[in-house]
Chains A and B, each alone.
Chain A
Amino acid sequence: MSNATDTVTGPEPMMAEPSSFESIYRERLVPMGRYLRRNKLMVGGLSILGVIVLLVIIGHLFYQQDDRKGNPQGVSELVYAASVPPRLKPSWNPWGEYPLGTDEQGRDILAHVLIGTPKTFRIGAIAAAIGIGVGLILAFVGAYVGGWADLIIRLLVDSLIPIPGLLVLILIATSLNPGQGLTENQLAFAIAVLAWPGPARVIRSQVLVMRERGYVTMAQMSGTSALGIIFKEMMPNLAPYLLASYVAALTGAMLATIGVETLGLGDIDAPTLGAMLYWIIFTNALLKAQWWWLIPPIVVIVALFVGLFMISAGLDEVANPRLRRRV
């Protein structure tokens, strides 16, 4: 292996040391910035998510209720306002103590959204990460081991994809933690169980194509082990696909989270976006003209999904060079 690399001549030694910040800046960040200027969708999506993150952080820093009575020790005031009703009537008064109003159970809606948004995002992020990881492993096993392993993986993937995911989640939820509803981590794992077939299918087909490429054959001939090829040659080239699959899986997982919670299978007393929708729908908030309760979660959820959609469309351009706009 070392012999093979020694004989390589050409531009490699010059590029080899991006040690100082200066060179990293020039070689990585400048082209990235130049690229982002062209990829408007990605910039748009990132800005939407950025604004949400910023608002959540600012909210956590500045928005606190100070005259909450009976706040138990060690519970931050924001969490407290979102999870335990201060027993107020549902009302809306933007210049009062609760800028977004209070809900049917008398909870602070702004606190609820501030706590719920990162929670929902976190569940989706964990589930998507596990799903992609499992999908990646199965894809490589399928493409490399081949034979029976590949056949079984392919059959499983093909037969699982038509089954509506939400329904399987309902079954898992009813069996895992009946009565109380799933905790956040249980929900994340339950969703991860369903998140792998899609990525496995996409990555497997990519690996199969890549395996026939010249640089992989080259590495094989120079004696690189299978693992070396996978990690050194294929993974860097898979990165855009992995990122695109991750965003897709994240969107799917967040949709599943919100859906399951809206059905009342999550922890309905926890301050999550889905639990909020559960109460809104099942207490008929709109029929009672409590519009201020409905609008904040809807706006946040729509912004989250539109942002992720734009990022994923932007990534599609990276992962799929045929779509890349010519300058």
Chain B
Amino acid sequence: MPSKYIVGRVGMFFLTIFLASTLVFFLPRLSGRDPFREKLFEEAQRGGYLEDVDEIAAALNERYGFDRPLWQQYVSYLGEIARFDLGTSQFTFSKSNNQLLAETLGWTIGLTFISAMVAFFIGTGMGAIMEWRRQNTGLLAAMAPFLMMSAVPYFIFGLVLLTVFWFSWLQAFDWELFPPYGAYDPTVEEWPDWSDFRFLGSAVWHATLPALSIVLVSLGGWAMGMRGMMVTTKGEDYMLQAEAKGLPDNVRFYRYAIRNSLLPQLTGLALQIGLIVSGVVLVEIVFTYPGVGGLLVQSIRNSDYPLIQGIVFVLAFCTAVTTLLLDMIYPLIDPRISYSGN
């Protein structure tokens, strides 16, 4: 019963969103702090004398609705979340959180999506071929360094890449192989303009090292997972039958072996999304990529709670949506499974 499965899965999705938004609401409020007042005091200390700190803080808190009872704030917050209104940043007055996120989220999603997909498909393919052409032991040997790399956190590997491909290169050849920071060459004023091929090239060139630090680290895990599944699949009776009835090698490989081994890989991808997003945020900081990571660090430094909450909620939301979509793909790939809901 696919419809029951879909209803259950969508229910799970809303539960995740609800839990995430509730955590996002209550966790920062547990501290019982008053960021406006603290910031004003800080300013007062820095700039000498500042009158009526308490009154100004109270007025600001009233304007943001922070003076109301907690349950009222919570109810109106849930309403805003349902409308995707992430509120106003406390310390970036000219822009709403939605605007700030709209400027940065695209870079993050692009980087995450492309590098995660590249890693998933190349890694899975490598694992599949590795097991299918078992007699070719060179493939296994080629895999070893990728396996070791898969242990290292993305952003640490990013620092390694930065040292090797930017710093050492610059020292050795007095020439930049890859740029060390940013998402495109900022010297051209009319950019960003996606219809300009030079801009596109510049963006790809800037994204190479951040993307590589995700791809190279993830490859090994996908390859080993796929290899393990292929071992099991190769031992199945239907594989023997396919061989016995004389199906060509590539048909058995693509239509029989890969298709039957792919499902656990997708489950793995769905489970990994959260980790990948956490990792990408740190990679962006290493490469000063103009994505959500940088905004997050800035908001942490300012103790800008509404903005931190907005960023965390949006990232959790994107993760939950991706997980949901992946779970919805299952029935398309493997029609055998019965979705009875339990």
CB of B155 to closest CB in A, whole Å: 7
Query: In the assembly, what is the distance between CA of A255 and CA of B297, in Å?
Result: 18
Task: Determine if B31 and A259 form an interchain contact, defined as CB atoms under 8 angstroms apart.
Answer: no
B44 CB to closest chain A CB (Å) equals: 16
A200 to B308, CA, bound (A): 29
Q: Are A170 and B296 in contact (CB under 8 A)?
A: yes
Report how far A311 CA is from B41 CA in the complex, Å. 51
Q: Bound complex: CA of A172 vs CA of B29, how far in Å? A: 10
Of A164, A174, A179, which contacts B316 at CB under 8 A?
A: A164
A162, A175, A176, A263 — most chain B CB neighbours (10 Å): A162
Q: Mark B288-326, 1 if CB is under 8 A from A, else 0.
A: 000000001100110101001101100110011001000
Which of B16, B160, B285, B308 has a CB less than 8 Å from the CB of A162?
A: B16
Complex CA distance for A280 and B30, rounded to whole angstroms: 32
Closest to A165 in B: B278
Within the assembled complex, what's the spacing in Å between the Cα atoms of A259 and B151?
Answer: 15
Known contacts A175-B28, A263-B297; is-contact A301 B319 (Cβ 8 Å): no
Residues of A near any B CB (own CB < 8 A): 155, 158-168, 170-172, 174-176, 178-179, 251, 255, 258-259, 262-265, 277, 280-281, 286-287, 289, 291, 294-295, 298, 301-302, 305-306, 308-310
| A122 smallest CB distance to B (angstroms) | 18
| Cα(A291)–Cα(B305), bound, Å | 35
Instruction: Enumerate chain A residues within 8 angstroms of B33, measured Cβ to Cβ.
Output: 175, 178
Which of A159, A264, A289, A302 sits near B19, CB closer than 8 Å? A159
Residue numbers in A under 8 Å from B27 (CB-CB): 168, 171-172, 174-175
Q: Which of B163, B270, B311 contacts A294 (CB 8 A)?
A: B163
Residue of A nearest to B30 (CB): A175
Chain B, Cβ-Cβ closest to A256 = B278
| Contact indicator B278/A263 (Cβ below 8 Å) | no
* Contact A162 B323, CB 8 Å, known A171-B27, A264-B301: yes
Q: A165-B278, A308-B151 are in contact. List 4 more A-B contacts (CB 8 A).
A: A155-B12, A160-B16, A162-B316, A263-B300
Q: By the criterion CB–CB under 8 Å, are B282 and A164 in contact?
A: no
For B, the interface residue count at a CB cutoff of 8 angstroms equals 55
Which A-chain residue is minimally distant from B271 (CB atoms)? Answer: A161
Q: Establish whether residues B285 and A263, one from each chain, have CB atoms under 8 Å apart when the complex forms.
A: yes
Q: Is the CB of B296 within 8 A of A168?
A: no
Q: Say whether A306 contacts B15, CB under 8 Å.
A: no
> Bound complex: CA of A262 vs CA of B312, how far in Å?
17
The complex places the Cα of A243 from the Cα of B27 at a distance, in Å, of 32
The residues of B that contact A310 with a CB separation of less than 8 Å are 151
Q: Which residues of A contact B152 (CB under 8 A)?
A: 301-302, 305-306
Residues of B within 8 A of A258 (CB): 153, 156
Considering the complex of A and B, which 4 residue pairs feature the smallest CB-CB distances, nearest first? A309-B151, A166-B278, A175-B31, A171-B27
Are A286 and B274 in touch, CB under 8 angstroms?
no
A162 adjacent to B148 (CB under 8 Å): no
**Are B312 and A170 interface neighbours, CB within 8 A?**
yes
Name the residue in B153, B275, B296, B315 with the highest tally of chain A Cβ atoms < 10 Å from its Cβ: B153
Show 25 A/B contacts (Cβ-Cβ < 8 Å), sorted by A: A160-B19, A162-B16, A164-B277, A164-B316, A166-B281, A167-B315, A170-B308, A170-B312, A171-B308, A171-B309, A174-B300, A175-B27, A175-B28, A176-B30, A178-B303, A263-B282, A263-B285, A281-B285, A286-B180, A289-B171, A294-B163, A295-B163, A305-B156, A308-B151, A310-B151
A33 to B60: give the CA distance in the assembly, Å.
Answer: 68
Nearest CB of A to B41, in Å:
12
For B313, the closest partner residue in chain A by CB is: A167
Chain B residues contacting A262 (CB-CB under 8 Å) are 155, 282, 285
**Is B286 interfacial (CB 8 A cutoff)?**
yes
Given known contacts A259-B278, A264-B297, A308-B151, is B28 in contact with A291 (CB within 8 Å)? Answer: no
Q: Is B218 an interface residue (CB 8 A)?
A: no
Distance between Cα atoms of A305 and B155 in the complex (Å) = 13
For B320, give the chain A residue with the smallest CB separation: A162
Complex Cα spacing A289 to B281, Å: 24
Q: Are B23 and A168 in contact (CB-based, < 8 A)?
A: yes
Whether, in the assembled complex, B162 has its beta carbon less than 8 Å from a beta carbon of chain A, the answer is: yes
